[in-house]
Amino acid sequence: MANKNLKEEFIEQAEEVRKKVKGIGPLKITLLCLLAVGTVCSYVFYGHIFGENNVFTTYDYGSEFLNAVMSMIPKIIRCFQIVTIVALITTLLLAIISRTFTKTRRSITVGRLVCNLIKWIVTIILVIALLAVWGVDTTALITGAGVLTLVVGLGMQSLIADVVAGLFIVFENEFNVGDIITVDGFRGEVIAMGIRTTKLKAAGNIKIFNNSDLRSILNQTEELSTARITVDIEYGADLARVEDIIREKLPLVKIEGAAEDVVYEGVSNLGASGVTLQFAVQCYEGDIFSVTRNLNRQIKVMFDENGINIPFNQLVVHMNEN
């Protein structure tokens, strides 16, 4: 049952990614098509638009303001060309990545991270290319940006540490979206992994960690988890008889959500009021609480059906006759 739930959850995540790819929307598709047609036409009539004798700069429109506005049209068209080409290439690239990285949890995580990186890189390149069209010295701009990045980087070491830590988490496959992990005592499901932060969800709450703060991570999804309970029986009970009943009846106990059969692990403690018996069952981490509750119920029912009493806390008082 748990395995089925995990598969259904993964299928839903993969379908969500596909919907995002398909959800480009008719408006955006129409806009891209119009821009693409305009870009093709601008290259077909390249000489008339960008040539030395183009209609926008050689013709006198009778007004200096109008002449200045018309002279900017080739640059505006050039900007539309750049935006269209970059948008088409980026959309196609993101669609390919999103459709390709949908087979496993790790591939979905890596795909989302790569898409985020591509968006940031493309945005920076696009801004520089558009500024170059309008005559801005991009070489000096890039050099100045490099110096500024160095200065800012010295003051934003924590941000850089978050980004680097996030990249290492993804590429070292420490955990993926959908995994259940424990960090600093907070146990939750990874619902999002960004370049800077990671989000965990538990009991309706979302905890946001900076990636550089994710240390001593306990990944509880890599392998099956163990739901373990303890039950006391009376000291007066025949332990050999109780264990015979357990060996006979325990294989008949079926726990919803368990991945394997329930196992009797023996006597774990001699308590103040009874002998403590321990039971365990393997399950998926996402089902561990429901499996534990169900196991408690089934063991109690089994004990009741076979006359095995669970003792109450007892207090023995000795009174001095003097």
CATH 3.30.420.40 fits 225-305, yes or no: no
For residue 302, which phi and psi values (nearest 5 degrees)? Answer: -65, -40
What is the spatial distance between Cα 57 and Cα 147, in angstroms, rounded to a whole number?
Answer: 38
**What residues does each domain of the chain span?**
2-155, 166-219, 225-305
Q: Which residues, 6+ apart, have CB-to-CB distance to 47 below 8 Å?
A: 53, 54
pLDDT value of position 57 = 67
Please, are residues 285 and 9 in contact by the beta-carbon 8 Å criterion?
no
Contacts 24+ apart (CB under 8 A), 162-167: 162/195, 162/196, 162/197, 162/210, 162/211, 162/212, 163/195, 163/196, 163/211, 164/212, 165/211, 165/212, 165/214, 166/113, 166/193, 166/194, 166/195, 166/196, 166/198, 166/211, 167/113, 167/195
167-177 pLDDT per residue, tens: 788 777 788 88
> Which range in 119-128, 249-258, 313-322 is most confidently predicted, on average pLDDT?
249-258
Terminal Cα distance for the chain, rounded: 65
Name which of 264, 180, 192 is nearest 223 in CA terms.
Answer: 180
User: In this predicted model, what pLDDT tens digit does every residue of 44-93 receive, in sequence order?
Assistant: 666 666 666 666 666 666 677 776 777 777 778 778 878 888 887 887 78
Q: Which helix (H) or strand (E) holds 130?
A: helix 105-133
Query: Cα(209)–Cα(158) distance, rounded to whole angstroms?
Result: 13
Confidence band, pLDDT 50/70/90 cuts, at residue 7: very low
Percent of the chain past pLDDT 70, that is, above it, reads 74
The reply to whether domains 166-219 and 225-305 share a CATH topology is no
Closest Cα to residue 247, out of 206, 277, 287, 207? 277
pTM of the model: 0.52
Give the separation between CA 132 and CA 265, rounded to whole angstroms: 73
Cα–Cα distance list, 43 to 33, 59, 75, 80, 214 (Å): 15, 21, 14, 12, 51
- Nearest alpha carbon to residue 225 among 283, 183, 310, 158: 283
CA distance 261 to 252: 9
pLDDT at 278 over 80: yes
Q: How far apart are CA 65 and CA 222, in angstroms?
A: 68
pLDDT for the residue numbered 244: 93
Higher pLDDT pick, 283 / 70 = 283
Strands 186-193 and 180-183: antiparallel
pLDDT digits (tens, 9 = 90+) for 133-150: 777 776 766 666 665 666
CA-to-CA distance for 46 and 266, rounded, in angstroms?
A: 85
Task: Give ∠ CA 261-264-270 in degrees, rounded to 5.
Answer: 155
pLDDT tens digits for 161-210?
A: 887 888 788 777 788 888 888 888 888 888 888 778 888 988 778 888 88
**Cα–Cα distance, 141 to 71 (Å, whole number):** 25
Q: Which of 39-53, 106-120, 176-190, 220-234 has the lowest mean pLDDT?
A: 39-53
What pairing do the DSSP bridges indicate for beta strands 218-219 and 205-210?
unpaired
Please give the full DSSP string across 232-259, using - where no structure is assigned.
EE-TTS-HHHHHHHHHHHGGG---TTBS
Does the 166-219 domain belong in CATH 2.30.30.60?
yes
Q: What is the DSSP letter of 137?
A: -
Extract the tokens encoding 37: 């047609």
Mean pLDDT for the chain overall: 77
